[in-house]
C-alpha cells in the first residue's frame, strides 16, 4: 500500500476535503454551464470533421457543408425535444441507464451502460485531443508531440480529480460563458466585417485548392452517398453531451422539470447557433481543411503545397480578428479551456455511473460505497489510463478518435428514446385524465420521432464508420456487457447460495473451544491468551508447533517462566512445517466435538510499512487462509500494534474521507429503519 501511496502523494500532494457540488440548488443560468460544457465543446471539433471528410471529394465536397450542418441541426433539435420529455417523466434525474433499465429491462440498461462507459473514455480522449489541436494555433510548439501533451493534460485532470477539487458553479460558468461569448462574438464580428463593413474576408486557406482521394473522384452515386454519410456521422459528434441535463434534474431549482426543460431548449438553441454560425462563416470565407491522414491534400495553382494543419476555429479566429490579436487569443484560450472542462465532466460522471452499476450488482459491490474514496479513485484511474492509452496510440488525432466516438452516444440515445415510448405507453394504460393523456400521446410521438431519428443516425454511423474504427468501440462495449453480466450472475448465484431458507434452523453451537496459536512467547502472545481467556470459552488451549527443536525448547521454557496458568501443548513436526500439523490438530478438535465451534486466536503484528509485512505475519496469513476453509472454525486476530504502525495508522486516517466526522454521520438508531431517532 505504502509504495503506491507514496507515488500518489508525490503526484497529487496532500489530500483536500472531498469534492461536493454542495447541496444548493442551481438557477438556470448556473445549471446551463454546469451541464452544457460537454455538449457545447463539441462545436470545437464537429465542423472540422465535416469539412475534412468532405475534402476527400476535393473542391466539390465543400459545397455540401451547410447541407450537412442543417441535417445535424435537425437531429440536434430532435434529440433536445426528446430529452425534454425525459426530463418531465424522470424528475429524479434518471439518466439513460435508468430509463432503459426501468422500461426495457436489465439487458437494455446494461447495453446503455456499456455504451456510456466507452463514451466517457472517448469524451476524455477526444476533448483533450481537440483542445491540444486547437491550442496549436496559439502554441505552435505543441505540434509534433500532440499525443504526449494530451497525455499530460489527462494526467493533470486525473491528479486534480484524485485530489478532489472543490468545484463551484463559477468553475463551470466562466469557461462556458467565455466560450459562448468567444465563438458567437467571433461569428457575429465576422458577419459584420463581411456584410456591415463590406470587407472581403478570406480564410488563410481560401486561395488553396484541395485535391481529394481518387476513391471519391466521381463524387456521384454510391461514392457520394457514402462520403456524405461519413461526413454527417463525424459531424454528429456535435450532439454528444446533450443528455447530461437529463441526469441533473434534481439539482435544478423548483419547478425542477420545467427549469431543466427550458435549460435544455436553451442549450439546443445555443449549440445550433454556434455550430450553424461556424459552418456558415467557413462557407462564406472559403475556409478549407484536408484530411490529416493524407487522403486529400492542398495544391496552389496546381502545385501540391504543404500547410500546417489548423482547426476551423483556429483559422477563423486568425481571420476574423486579423487586426485584433486579443480576440484571437481569447477565442483559442476559451476553446481549449472548455474542451478540457468537458473532459473533466467525464471524470465526474464515470465513477458515478460505476457506483450505480455496482449498486445493481454489475460491478464489484464495494464500488457502490465511498469507503475511503477508493471507489471513486479507482474509477478515476481506470478512466484516465484508458483515455491516456487512446491519445498516445492515436497521437491525439481527433479525426481517428472520432471514428470510435458517436457510436456509443447514439446507442444510448436510441435505446433511451425507445424506453421513453414504452414509458408513455405504460402510463397511458392507467391514465384517465384526457388532458394528461393528450400530453402523453404528444410526448410519445416526440420520443418515437426522436427514437427513429437517432436509430437512423446510428445505422448511418455504424455503416459509414465501422471499418474506420467504430468496430473497436462496438467490441469494447460487447466486452463490458459480457463482463458486467457475468459479475451480476455471480452475485446472484452467491446470493441464492447464502439466502436463509425456511429450514435453516437456529443452530446455536453448544460450546466454544478456544485455541491460541503460539509461535513466540512475547507481549502479543500474552495479549492473545488474555483476550481469549476473557471470552471465557468452554475450553482453552495454547498450542505451539515444534518445527525446530532448539526454538521449541526456548518457547516452552519462557512459557513456563511466564506462569500463564495454562499448559502449552507441543505438536511435533519433524518435517519443519507449521501449517499442516496445526490444521490437523484443529481438525481433530472439530471431529471430536462436532457440535462445538472452534475459535482460533492468532497474535498478529500490526506494522507500518509494506516491507514489514514481508517480515511478519506470513505464517499467520497462511494458517488463517487455510483455517477459513474449515467448517465451524472462527479465526480471531489479536492485533499487537508495533510502534511503527503509528505511521500507517496516521496515513489511513488521512486517506479516509473525513466525511463521517460531519454532522449527521454516525448517529445510531435501533431497530426499524423509519422509527424516530429518539429511541437512542
Closest to 209 in 3D by CA, of 304, 300, 295, 289: 300
Q: Which three cell numbers stand for residue 23?
A: 447541496
Q: How far apart are CA 88 and CA 427, in angstroms?
A: 13
- Cβ contact 488:573 at 8 Å: no
CB 95, min distance to a copy of itself, A: 17
Nearer CB in complex with a copy of itself: 305/494: 494
Nearer CB in complex with a copy of itself: 224/381: 381
CB 671, min distance to a copy of itself, A: 5
Nearer CB in complex with a copy of itself: 303/670: 670
- Cβ contact 393:78 at 8 Å: no
Residue 603 phi, psi dihedral angles, 5° rounding: -65, 135
Nearer CB in complex with a copy of itself: 299/530: 530
Considering Cα of 56, then 288, then 342, then 460, what sign does the dihedral take? negative
- Cβ contact 9:650 at 8 Å: no
Helices (H), 360-433: 374-393, 398-402, 407-430
Q: How far apart are CA 497 and CA 464, in angstroms?
A: 48
Nearer CB in complex with a copy of itself: 107/492: 492
Ramachandran category for residue 449: left, alpha or beta (phi over 0 → left; psi -120 to 50 → alpha): alpha
Reported in sequence order, the residue ranges of 292-334 that DSSP labels E, i.e. its strands, are: 297-300, 303-304
Nearer CB in complex with a copy of itself: 435/661: 661
Q: How far apart are CA 309 and CA 133, in angstroms?
A: 9
CB 387, min distance to a copy of itself, A: 23
Nearer CB in complex with a copy of itself: 141/575: 575
Nearer CB in complex with a copy of itself: 201/597: 597
CB 512, min distance to a copy of itself, A: 5
CB atoms within 10 A of CB 632: 15
CB 678, min distance to a copy of itself, A: 14
Q: Which three cell numbers stand for residue 329?
A: 487569443
Nearer CB in complex with a copy of itself: 437/527: 527
Considering Cα of 312, then 315, then 317, then 321, what sign does the dihedral take? negative
Nearer CB in complex with a copy of itself: 327/509: 509
Report which DSSP code applies to 252.
B
Nearer CB in complex with a copy of itself: 48/541: 541
- Cβ contact 215:223 at 8 Å: yes
Nearer CB in complex with a copy of itself: 207/549: 549
Q: Is 173 helix (H, G, I), strand (E, B) or coil?
A: helix
First and final C-alpha spacing in the chain: 38
Closest to 245 in 3D by CA, of 473, 440, 40: 40
CB 41, min distance to a copy of itself, A: 30
Q: Which three cell numbers stand for residue 212?
A: 481529394
Residue with cell 445550433: 272
Closest to 40 in 3D by CA, of 243, 176, 185: 176
What angle do the packed helices 256-284 and 169-191 form, to 10 degrees? 40
- Cβ contact 199:52 at 8 Å: no
Amino acid at each position: 500500500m505504502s509504495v503506491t501511496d507514496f507515488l500518489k502523494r508525490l503526484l497529487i500532494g496532500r489530500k483536500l476535503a472531498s469534492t461536493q457540488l454542495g447541496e444548493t440548488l442551481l438557477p438556470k443560468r448556473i445549471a446551463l454551464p454546469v451541464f452544457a460544457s460537454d455538449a457545447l465543446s463539441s462545436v470545437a471539433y464537429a465542423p472540422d470533421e465535416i469539412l475534412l471528410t468532405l475534402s476527400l471529394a476535393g473542391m466539390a465536397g465543400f459545397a455540401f457543408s451547410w447541407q450537412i450542418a442543417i441535417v445535424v441541426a435537425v437531429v440536434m433539435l430532435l434529440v433536445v425535444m426528446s430529452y425534454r420529455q425525459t426530463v418531465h417523466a424522470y424528475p429524479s434525474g434518471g439518466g439513460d441507464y435508468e430509463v432503459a433499465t426501468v422500461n426495457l429491462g436489465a439487458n437494455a440498461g446494461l447495453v446503455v451502460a456499456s455504451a456510456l462507459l466507452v463514451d466517457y473514455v472517448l469524451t476524455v480522449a477526444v476533448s483533450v485531443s481537440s483542445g491540444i489541436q486547437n491550442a496549436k494555433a496559439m502554441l505552435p510548439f505543441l505540434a509534433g508531440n500532440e499525443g504526449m501533451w494530451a497525455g499530460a493534460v489527462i494526467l493533470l485532470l486525473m491528479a486534480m480529480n484524485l485530489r478532489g477539487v472543490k468545484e463551484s458553479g463559477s468553475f463551470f460558468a466562466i469557461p462556458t460563458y467565455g466560450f459562448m461569448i468567444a465563438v458567437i462574438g467571433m461569428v457575429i464580428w465576422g458577419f459584420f466585417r463581411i456584410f456591415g463593413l463590406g470587407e472581403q474576408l478570406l480564410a488563410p486557406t481560401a486561395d488553396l485548392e484541395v485535391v481529394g482521394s481518387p476513391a471519391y473522384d466521381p463524387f456521384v452515386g454510391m461514392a457520394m452517398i457514402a462520403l456524405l454519410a461519413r461526413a454527417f456521422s463525424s459531424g454528429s459528434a456535435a450532439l454528444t453531451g446533450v443528455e447530461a441535463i437529463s441526469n441533473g434534474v434534481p439539482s435544478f431549482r423548483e419547478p425542477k422539470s420545467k427549469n431543466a426543460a427550458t435549460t435544455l431548449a436553451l442549450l439546443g438553441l445555443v449549440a445550433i447557433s454556434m455550430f450553424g454560425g461556424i459552418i456558415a462563416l467557413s462557407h462564406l470565407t472559403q475556409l478549407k481543411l484536408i484530411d490529416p491522414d493524407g487522403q486529400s491534400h492542398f495544391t496552389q495553382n496546381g502545385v501540391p503545397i504543404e500547410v500546417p494543419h489548423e482547426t476551423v476555429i483556429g483559422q477563423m479566429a486568425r481571420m476574423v480578428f486579423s487586426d485584433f490579436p486579443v480576440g484571437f487569443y481569447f477565442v483559442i484560450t476559451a476553446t481549449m479551456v472548455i474542451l478540457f472542462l468537458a473532459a473533466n465532466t467525464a471524470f465526474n460522471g464515470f465513477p458515478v455511473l460505476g457506483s450505480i452499476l455496482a449498486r445493481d450488482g454489475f460491478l464489484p459491490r464495494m464500488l457502490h460505497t465511498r469507503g475511503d474514496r477508493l471507489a471513486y479513485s479507482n474509477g478515476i484511474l481506470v478512466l484516465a489510463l484508458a483515455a491516456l492509452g487512446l491519445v498516445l496510440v492515436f497521437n491525439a488525432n481527433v479525426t481517428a478518435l472520432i471514428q470510435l466516438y458517436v457510436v456509443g452516444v447514439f446507442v444510448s440515445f436510441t435505446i433511451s428514446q425507445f424506453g421513453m415510448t414504452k414509458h408513455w405507453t405504460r402510463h397511458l394504460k392507467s391514465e384517465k385524465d384526457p388532458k394528461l393523456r393528450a400530453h402523453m400521446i404528444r410526448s410519445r410521438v416526440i420520443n418515437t420521432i426522436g427514437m427513429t431519428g437517432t436509430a437512423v443516425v446510428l445505422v448511418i454511423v455504424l455503416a459509414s464508420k465501422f471499418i474506420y474504427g467504430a468496430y473497436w468501440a462496438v467490441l469494447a462495449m460487447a466486452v463490458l456487457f459480457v463482463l458486467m453480466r457475468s459479475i451480476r450472475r455471480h452475485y446472484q448465484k452467491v446470493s441464492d447460495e447464502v439466502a436463509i431458507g425456511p429450514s435453516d434452523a437456529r443452530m446455536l453451537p453448544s460450546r466454544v473451544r478456544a485455541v491460541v496459536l503460539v509461535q513466540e512467547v512475547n507481549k502479543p502472545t500474552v495479549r492473545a491468551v488474555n483476550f481469549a481467556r476473557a471470552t471465557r470459552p468452554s475450553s482453552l488451549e495454547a498450542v505451539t508447533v515444534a518445527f525446530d527443536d532448539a526454538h521449541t525448547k526456548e518457547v516452552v521454557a519462557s512459557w513456563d517462566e511466564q506462569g500463564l496458568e495454562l499448559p502449552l501443548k507441543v505438536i511435533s513436526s519433524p518435517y519443519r512445517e507449521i501449517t499442516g500439523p496445526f490444521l490437523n490438530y484443529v481438525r481433530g478438535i472439530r471431529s471430536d466435538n462436532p457440535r462445538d465451534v472452534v475459535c482460533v486466536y492468532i497474535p498478529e503484528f500490526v506494522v507500518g510499512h509494506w516491507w514489514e509485512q514481508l517480515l511478519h505475519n506470513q505464517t499467520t496469513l497462511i494458517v488463517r487462509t487455510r483455517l477459513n476453509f474449515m467448517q465451524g472454525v472462527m479465526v480471531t486476530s489479536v492485533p499487537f500494534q508495533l510502534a511503527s504502525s503509528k505511521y500507517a495508522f496516521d496515513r489511513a486516517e488521512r486517506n479516509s474521507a473525513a466525511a463521517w466526522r460531519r454532522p449527521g454521520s454516525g448517529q445510531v438508531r435501533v431497530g426499524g429503519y423509519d422509527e424516530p431517532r429518539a429511541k437512542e
